[in-house]
Amino acid sequence: MAIKDLIDHSPKRRSFLKTIAAGAAGALIPAAAAPARPTQTYPSAQAAHPAAIRKNDMVYRRLGRTGLYVSEISLGGSPLPDERLLFQLIERGINYIDTSDSYENGNCERKVGRLFKAVGRDKIFIHARFHLQGPWTEASLIASVEGSLRRLATDYTDVLGIHGLEKAEHLTDERILGAFEKLRAQGKCRFRGLTCHVNQHAVIPKAVESGLYDMVQIGYNVFDIQETEKEVKTYSDYLGESGIRKLIDLAHGRDVGITAMKVLKVGGRRQDVAADKTEGTTIYQAMLKWALENEKLSAVVTEILNDQEMKEDLDVVGRPLTTKERQMLHAHVAANAGSTCHLCGLCQAACPAGIRTADISRCLAYFESYGKRSRARAEYAKLRPAASGCRDCRACERACPYGISVRERTRRAQGMLA
Ligand code: SF4
Ligand code: SF4
């Protein structure tokens, strides 16, 4: 398909695609160089580097100051597909995989390790992570990363991230910074990053402003913007000065790379909403396109588990959202917004009993929407204090800017997951 065929009537998308076209003329995708050991040299100006380049059927976007060019559709590792499909996805141009030792009990990392052996370490960028669970110390974080590297069969990770960071004060915790620095000094990680589901509005601005983090992975989807046919509520309408688009603007302004997860957020399982289609485009494709039209995002990290999902997700590469597809999204949001939790964490912060209502909600989504039943139960079992300690005070519901019936979700989770 020629680049000109990809350009639609959206001025914003058009200019981005022109940039891609310019990059496609001769730019090469930077390979993962030998692990840049401790001292990173960052590109001095964004303007000197194209925002995106196209090679074959994939568009690669610059991951902020890491300077890595990552496939705009990238792969989440919880879970990864079988190895046949994984190889095919790499052949189709995906070059960035999100891994964690908690995914598939370490088997996600082992699978990526076998992939490295088969296709070469330099063909894929990875974002490996450590968890802040239990009585963690600098030494335990380092040991955890070393375990991940062994399973990954590599001696370095491109990005090393904190998994599911919720507390902004941890951004500058000496144990964490010490672990990062020791691992970087040994050439075991190239860049620092983090993922954040809950409390993004508090964590991300501080991560960006600290200057310590090269990339962040956030939850971002059409429900977070509450875009409907009648109105587009901006971030400031419901998350104050720290709303989601503002977070993205902030990170981009400081050349911090941003990837998006939880983009495919629907009120049911992926296969159950195939009826939501327009002009041959599924609701999932529309959601992916909607996220990717924000050119400040480097990639959407998504799970692809079968041939149909591969086709569905890779078919959106370089293709803008059409007017009709946007209308389909508006209708979907209007029909489902009332029951969609955004994992903002505000209910959890308001609970006098410390009940982790946002995490409970996330576990419920794993169980009901993503079909990840054992992971949902395992993560639910770790949450403290237990939901049974609820005092029925409704503070969580008063705090929820989306009017979600938090207590009902919590009770449902207790019934299904306990
Ligand atoms: S109703 Fe229960 S979960 Fe909600 S804030 Fe009160 S104690 Fe916490
Ligand atoms: S229930 Fe409401 S306040 Fe709680 S995480 Fe979800 S959207 Fe945020």
* Contact between 80 and 108 (Cβ < 8 Å): yes
Q: Is the pLDDT of residue 408 over 80?
A: yes
Can you say whether the dihedral through the CA atoms of 388, 393, 396, 401 is positive or negative? positive
CB atoms within 10 A of CB 91: 11
Write out pLDDT tens, residues 221-245.
887 766 666 666 654 455 555 578 8
Confidence of residue 293 (pLDDT cuts 50, 70, 90): very high
Indicate whether 43 pLDDT > 60. Answer: no
400 C-beta closer than 6 A to ligand 2: yes
- Predicted pLDDT at 270: 59
Is ligand 1 within 6 A of the CB of residue 407?
Answer: yes
Whether residue 316 has pLDDT greater than 60: yes
Using alpha carbons, select from 152, 170, 34, 252 the residue that is nearest to residue 180: 170
In the beta sheet, which residues pair with residue 258? Answer: 216
Alpha-carbon distance of 391 to 397, in angstroms, equals: 13
Percentage of residues of the chain with pLDDT beyond 90: 60
Kindly report, residue by residue over 275-290, the tens digit of the pLDDT.
567 778 888 899 999 9
Q: What is the pLDDT of residue 28?
A: 35
- Choose the weakest-confidence range: 212-216, 308-312, 400-404: 400-404
Tokens of 411: 């009770």
Burial of 317 (0-12, 13-18, 19+ CB in 10 A): buried
Give dist(CA 245, CA 238) in Å, integer.
Answer: 12
246 and 289 Cβ atoms separated by less than 8 Å: no
User: Cβ atoms within 10 A of the Cβ of 206, count?
Assistant: 16
How much is the pLDDT for 373? Answer: 85
Q: Which is nearest to 217 in space by CA: 297, 318, 101, 291?
A: 297
Q: Which is nearest to 178 in space by CA: 146, 140, 123?
A: 140
Output the pLDDT for position 5: 28
Q: What is the pLDDT of residue 362?
A: 87
391 lines ligand 1 (CB under 6 A): yes
Q: Which atom in ligand 2 lies closest to the alpha carbon of residue 357?
A: 4
Q: Is 404 in the pocket of ligand 1 (CB under 6 A)?
A: no
Distance set, CA 13 to CA 30, 149, 312 (Å)? 24, 38, 20
Rounded distance from Cα 267 to ligand 1 centre (Å): 24
Distances (CA, A) of 150 to 106, 175, 299: 10, 22, 27
How far apart CA 331 and CA 317 sit, in angstroms, is 23
Average pLDDT over residues 47-76: 92
Contact 61, 72 (CB under 8 A): yes
Return the best residue to mutate from 346, 348, 351 for the ligand 1 pocket (most ligand atoms within 8 A of CB).
351
Instruction: Delineate the domains of the chain, giving CATH numbers in brackets.
Output: 3-337 (3.20.20.100), 341-417 (no CATH)
Q: How far is the CA of 391 from the centre of ligand 1 (A)?
A: 6
Nearest atom (ligand 2) to Cα of 358 = 5
Average pLDDT estimate for 354-359: 94
Instruction: Give yes or no for residue 402 CB within 6 A of ligand 2.
Output: yes
The residue whose CA has the least distance to atom 4 of ligand 1 is 396
Q: What is the pLDDT of residue 231?
A: 65
Query: What would the mean pLDDT of 187-191 be, rounded to a whole number?
Result: 96
Rg from Cα positions in the chain: 20
- Of 32-41, 46-55, 404-413, the least confident: 32-41
Q: Which protein residue's CA is at the shortest distance from atom 2 of ligand 1?
A: 390
Of 43-52, 88-97, 239-248, 404-413, which one has max mean pLDDT?
88-97
Alpha-helix residue ranges (DSSP H) falling in 293-405: 307-314, 323-336, 346-350, 357-368, 373-382, 395-399
> CA-CA distance, 274 to 282, in Å (whole number)?
7
- At residue 255, does pLDDT exceed 50? yes
The alpha carbon of 342 and the centre of ligand 2 are apart by a number of angstroms equal to 6
Residues 239, 224: Cα–Cα separation, whole Å? 10
Tell me if 342 CB under 6 Å of ligand 2: yes
Ligand 2 in contact with 215 (CB < 6 A)? no
337 lines ligand 2 (CB under 6 A): no
Residue 13, pLDDT > 90, answer no
Report how far residue 404's alpha carbon sits from residue 400's, in angstroms, rounded to the nearest whole number: 6
Which residue, judged by its Cα, is nearest atom 2 of ligand 2? 400
Q: What backbone torsions phi and psi does residue 273 show, to the nearest 5 degrees? A: -115, 25
Cβ–ligand 2 distance for 179 under 6 Å, the answer no
Amino acid sitting at position 180: F
With 0.75 as the threshold, say if the pTM is over it: yes
